[in-house]
Amino acid sequence: MQRSRTRWLTAGAVAAIGALTLSACGSGFSSGSDDSSGGLTTSKKALTVLIGSSGDAETKAVNSAVADWTKSSGTKATVNVASDLNQQLAQGFSSGKPADVFYLSTDALAGYASNGSLLAYGDQLSNKSDFYPSLVKSFTYDGKFYCAPKDFSTLALEINTDMWKAAGLTDSDIPTTWDQLESVSKKLTTPEHVGLSIGGEYARIGAFMTQAGGNLMNADSTTATADSDANVTALTEVKKMENEGTLKFAKDVGAGWGGEAFGKGLAAMTIEGNWITGGMQADYPNVKYTIAELPAGPAGKGTLQFTNCWGIAADSPNQTAALKLVEKLTSADDQLAFSKAFGPMPSIQSAATEWKKANPALVPFLNAADYAKGVPTAKGAADVVTDFNSKIESLATSDPKTILEATQKNLEALLK
């Protein structure tokens, strides 16, 4: 469940969003999606909350938090766990009966915001200034901050400590530059395992792009930057390590994702988000490992971040209560409780110190919030990334510049 919850832009998700988001359209109240002045709808109707859960722990934690809010506010709210969040969310909008509050991904934001389905309530949040700025950017569309980031994840480097010691490496050898990453990956590569294995997709290789000073699009996803020199440098570095045999994509070592390659001992290192900790504990509890921030590239430190927000429907008859519920769910107390229950990092800066104290081994993930970059949020970007991923699979025998130029054209087409 951990991998399916957090890996970005799987083929199924793209298909669901592509097919359903375009047809979903909220009717919109006059005080709906374009209103940021405080004119929210109010009624005595109960709220419905739609989530996509990673498992029993997440479901129980959200139910508990919502029940606490109901008790204190006097407004009833019911949590529904979607079997297919993208599909059920789209069906709710198309039928004119959406959930009041719901999980919303970055790649779904533009579609729903552009057709009037969402309330742009971000500026009305009492805790607006507490969210990490990069997360606010991920949920800003057409200049409007639409929804509160509910939590987030970043990518870091996971190292098998037994393999590390066997290669004669110490803590002082933990790589902080690309050259050092190449060096330790070579020392860690044996006939039994590769030094570094990652998913052959933008959601992992994109970290190298940010370290080189690039990304597929600019911070607010209004300009395509895929064919930049920085991105060419990043893909060239990954290709170099592939050709040297010190880096292999997960599928090339017989694994479904980096965490599986790492857990099965097929790789001494991987690059994954903090969700890997749950997977390792459940499936590979005997593997000893440590976590480090990703090595810096030519432009410095860099990583990708992944996040969802609490969306509020433009058609909700009780937006006022929905906003109050979201403020409670994104409070430090609730977010720290969620973190303890099922692992995500709080999206607010005021919870950082306590979170680090409770999760000392995971501090590198939260430290990365200072320089993490978001994934593209432009409408249709998910499909372009899927195409980019298909080309990345053959990176070892392809020209990085050619791959990126094709992706650039596809992204530019979205912005016309």
- Tens digit of pLDDT for each residue in 338-349? 999 988 999 999
Mean predicted confidence (pLDDT) in 21-37: 37
> What is each CA distance from 2 to 119, 336, 395, in whole angstroms?
29, 19, 27
- Average of per-residue pLDDT across 222-250: 98
Q: Which two tokens stand for residue 177?
A: 């530059």
Same domain, 34 and 140: yes
Cβ-based burial of 325 (10 A; exposed 0-12, middle 13-18, buried ≥19): buried
Are residue 46 and residue 143 in the same domain, yes or no?
yes
Are 319 and 297 contained in the same domain? no
Tell me what pLDDT residue 11 has.
30
> Same domain for 299 and 314?
no
In CATH, what number is assigned to the domain containing residue 48? 3.40.190.10
pLDDT category at 136 given cuts 50, 70, 90 is very high
CA distance 17 to 111: 9
pLDDT in tens, 275-307: 899 889 889 999 999 999 999 999 999 999 999
- Regarding whether 332 and 252 lie in a shared domain, the answer is no
169 shares a domain with 236: yes
Q: Based on the fold, state whether residues 311 and 297 are members of the same structural domain.
A: no
Same domain? 345 vs 203: no
For residue 106, give Cα distances in angstroms to 9, 125, 138, 231, 374.
10, 19, 6, 22, 9
What's the rounded mean pLDDT across residues 130-135? 96
Residue 353 structural domain: 2-153+306-372
Beta strand pairing status for 101-105 and 47-51? parallel
Mean predicted confidence (pLDDT) in 192-213: 98
In angstroms, how far is the first alpha carbon of the chain from the final one? 38
69 and 35 in a common domain = yes
Q: What is the pLDDT of residue 22?
A: 32
| Mean pLDDT computed over 57-80 | 97
Same domain, 198 and 271: yes
Show the tokens assigned to 403: 């791959």
Please state the pTM of the whole predicted model.
0.88
Residues 37, 182, single domain; the answer is no
Whether residues 30 and 100 share a domain: the answer is yes
| Residue 300: count of CB within 10 angstroms of its CB | 11
* Percentage above 70 pLDDT, the chain: 91
In this predicted model, what pLDDT tens digit does every residue of 154-191 receive, in sequence order?
A: 999 999 999 999 999 999 999 999 999 999 999 999 99
Report d(CA 331, CA 127) in Å as an integer: 8
**Band of residue 153 on the pLDDT scale cut at 50, 70, 90:** very high
Structural domain count of the chain? 2
| 334-375 tens-digit pLDDT | 999 999 998 899 999 999 999 999 999 999 999 999 999 999
